[in-house]
């Protein structure tokens, strides 16, 4: 039986693709590299079909050599293109409404992200969200690696039991991170991966934040 959102004490959020609507920019940044390398460009649909964690797998799918030196160079080029236009990204529709409604129901919030930690904190401040999260955990580098190990530490730092936590993300890897925590997971199919890549994993899948908001307001 599915638990009501209001029965949890805490929500762990992924940032990029989940709260921040930046899939279009990631596709654009990757296309800049592809154009420079004279390779075929991707449309957003194809990008969402090939995206996965760790990010090195995306470059492998596109036929790039992925030795450490090449991957680090590709990552730096990607981040340069991304950061140039990051200010144009907005939060997903009703993201703030959902955060505020969950807070009114007594939930606290934290972020577990593959985005580099200082850049994450800066971006949260730019969107007026820095004070909302009791813990912000970004990556120690720009390479968008696995979050599973950090997920276990994240839960320990919060001093919460897994059954008290709901994890919200937009990729199969977010489900893996939630499993590492032992927490329930909701995947929102408006980010980096299509719904057909999220179905069947074992997590609940919704199309957007409106579905979750309707649940919170249904009993009012």
- pLDDT tens per residue, range 94-141: 999 999 999 999 999 999 998 999 999 999 999 999 999 999 998 876
Tens digits of residue pLDDT in 59-82: 999 999 889 899 999 999 999 999
**pTM for this predicted structure:** 0.93
Q: Is residue 84 located within the same domain as residue 101? A: no
Residue range 7-14: mean pLDDT, rounded? 97
Nearest to 86 by CA among 160, 19, 22, 165: 22
Task: Indicate if 54 and 36 belong to the same structural domain.
Answer: yes
Q: Check pLDDT > 80 for residue 220.
A: no
Can you give the CATH number for the domain in which 117 is found? 3.40.50.1000
> What tokens does 57 get?
């797998």
Please state the rounded mean pLDDT for residues 148-171.
Answer: 91
Please identify, among 67, 88, 109, the residue that sits at the C-terminal boundary of a domain: 88
Using the 3D structure, point to which of 44, 70, 88 is the last residue of a domain. 88
Q: Which of 60, 88, 116 is the last residue of a domain?
A: 88
Give the model's pLDDT for residue 143: 47
Report the number of distinct structural domains present in the chain: 2
Do residue 31 and residue 132 come from a single domain?
no
Query: What is the domain extent for residue 52?
Result: 23-88
């Amino acid at each position: 039986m599915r638990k009501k959102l209001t029965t949890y004490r805490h929500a762990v959020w992924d940032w990029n693709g989940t709260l921040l609507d930046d899939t279009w920019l990631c596709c654009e940044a990757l296309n800049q590299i592809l154009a420079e390398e004279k390779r075929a460009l991707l449309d957003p649909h194809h990008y969402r079909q090939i995206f996965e964690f760790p990010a090195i797998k995306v470059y492998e799918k596109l036929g790039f050599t992925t030795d450490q030196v090449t991957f680090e160079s590709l990552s730096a080029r990607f981040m340069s293109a991304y950061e140039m236009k990051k200010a144009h990204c907005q939060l997903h529709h009703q993201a703030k409404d959902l955060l505020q409604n969950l807070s009114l129901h007594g939930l606290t919030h934290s972020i577990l992200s593959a985005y580099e930690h200082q850049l994450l904190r800066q971006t949260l401040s730019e969107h007026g969200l820095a004070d909302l999260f009791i813990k912000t955990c970004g990556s120690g580098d720009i390479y968008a690696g696995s979050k599973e190990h950090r997920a276990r530490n994240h839960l320990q730092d919060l001093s919460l039991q897994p059954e008290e936590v709901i994890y919200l993300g937009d990729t199969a890897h977010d489900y893996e991170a939630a499993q590492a925590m032992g927490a329930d997971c909701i995947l929102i199919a408006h980010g980096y991966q299509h719904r057909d890549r999220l179905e069947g994993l074992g997590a609940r899948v919704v199309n957007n934040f409106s579905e979750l908001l309707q649940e919170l307001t249904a009993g009012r």
